[in-house]
Amino acid sequence: MNRYILNAVLFSALLAQSLPSAVFAQNKDVVISVSVRNGTAEIDQFADAASLVLMKSQPEIIQDLKNPGAKFQFSPIPKPAFPLAIRIQYKNRTFSRMLWQEDINSPAPKIVRVYEDGALAEQILITSMLYIIRKKTFLQVTEFFSIQNQSHPPRVYSHENLILSLPENARSVKMMAQHGATGMTEPVRFDSIDGMTGIQHDFQPGNSELSIEYTIPADSFTAGSLHHLNSGSTSKKEDIKILLWQPPEAVLEVQGGKTSLDTIPDYGEVLTVRFLPGNKLTYFFSEGGYVVDSLESAWRNPFFDSIHKTLLGILLVFLILLAALYYSVRSKNFQEK
């Protein structure tokens, strides 16, 4: 009997040693080396501070360094069972890089790019997509802004250059931002400025997404918009907004712009609205049903589960529109000949 107990104890000890920790895998330590580059000037750049973050459901800072220089190492850590993130502080801004398992396993220095301020409004392309869920007594709205910072040399576009207008009757407003290069999502702080909404988030070079969620206690609303401040632009070029809605049988109508039905592959019909800058768009449901499922499942839309799919959807619609315009012009030129 004692032999069985002894075997059970030994087996339990071996099993405990073979199980990975919830946070760190049972492997040799890893060392994360970092090289900070100024992406505007293309030189090595001293960081003001650096953090190594364990990307669990609640991110946990596991190491902090002050004035680490341009090239440095974090102290050795057990190989993590979660991705890591490197956060670099430079001129009161945070620049990040996600590290997946292949990055963590590689001994090569991890390059994190920081950027200077100074991107101009004409170097920023903003497109938007609106997703509306019609509930029995309110509308649930998510607006996605795709913000492409095309500055050259690459620079940060300051939040001080942007202002957001929201519907007057918007309730329970939440904002999130995600940068395509890092894949990291973070909440965005915002405040009211003379009836408008200022967002406390700068946009780095490349593609970013700003998502704004709110509810409307009515069956119609006048949409807001994201503006450049003091850009001096007098362009009369039409803007385009893409609309999706649930349930599909509900009839969504728009006042203030020209509408057309288009199709996104693997999703279905979308409503494309063309309008002049400054025009106010009003959305309302003239007839049809409403979504009766739970609030949690109503928000769960697989088309928007990542910035890459959102940007791809926007890109597909714009490619369709550009192709239609190209063939229209080509046909007109052929007829003139």
How many domains does one find in the chain? 2
Whether 153 shows a pLDDT value over 60: the answer reads: yes
Q: Is residue 317 part of a domain?
A: yes
Q: What is the mean pLDDT of residues 199-218?
A: 93
Closest by CA to 134, choosing from 2, 249, 279, 303, is 249
**254-306, pLDDT tens digit by residue?**
999 999 988 877 777 889 998 887 778 899 998 888 898 654 444 444 444 44
Distance CA 239, CA 130 (A): 14
Enter the tokens of residue 170: 């918007």
Q: Is residue 283 part of a domain?
A: yes
Q: Is residue 286 part of a domain?
A: yes
- Residue ending a domain, among 73, 92, 114, is 114
Distance CA 23, CA 104 (A): 14
Mean pLDDT of the chain: 81
Distance CA 10, CA 13 (A): 5
Q: Is residue 334 part of a domain?
A: no
Residues 6+ apart with CB under 8 A from 157: 119, 123, 124, 147, 149, 151, 202, 203, 204
CATH of the domain at 246: 2.60.40
Whether 140 shows a pLDDT value over 50: the answer reads: yes
Whether 4 shows a pLDDT value over 50: the answer reads: no
Q: What is the mean pLDDT of residues 192-206?
A: 84
Distance CA 129, CA 307 (A): 12
* Residues 167 and 37 grouped into a single domain: no
- Host domain of residue 30: 21-114
Residues 6+ apart with CB under 8 A from 328: none
Closest by CA to 240, choosing from 330, 125, 135, 161, is 125
Choose the weakest-confidence range: 4-8, 184-188, 217-221, 324-328: 4-8
* Residues 126 and 155 grouped into a single domain: yes
Q: Is residue 183 part of a domain?
A: yes
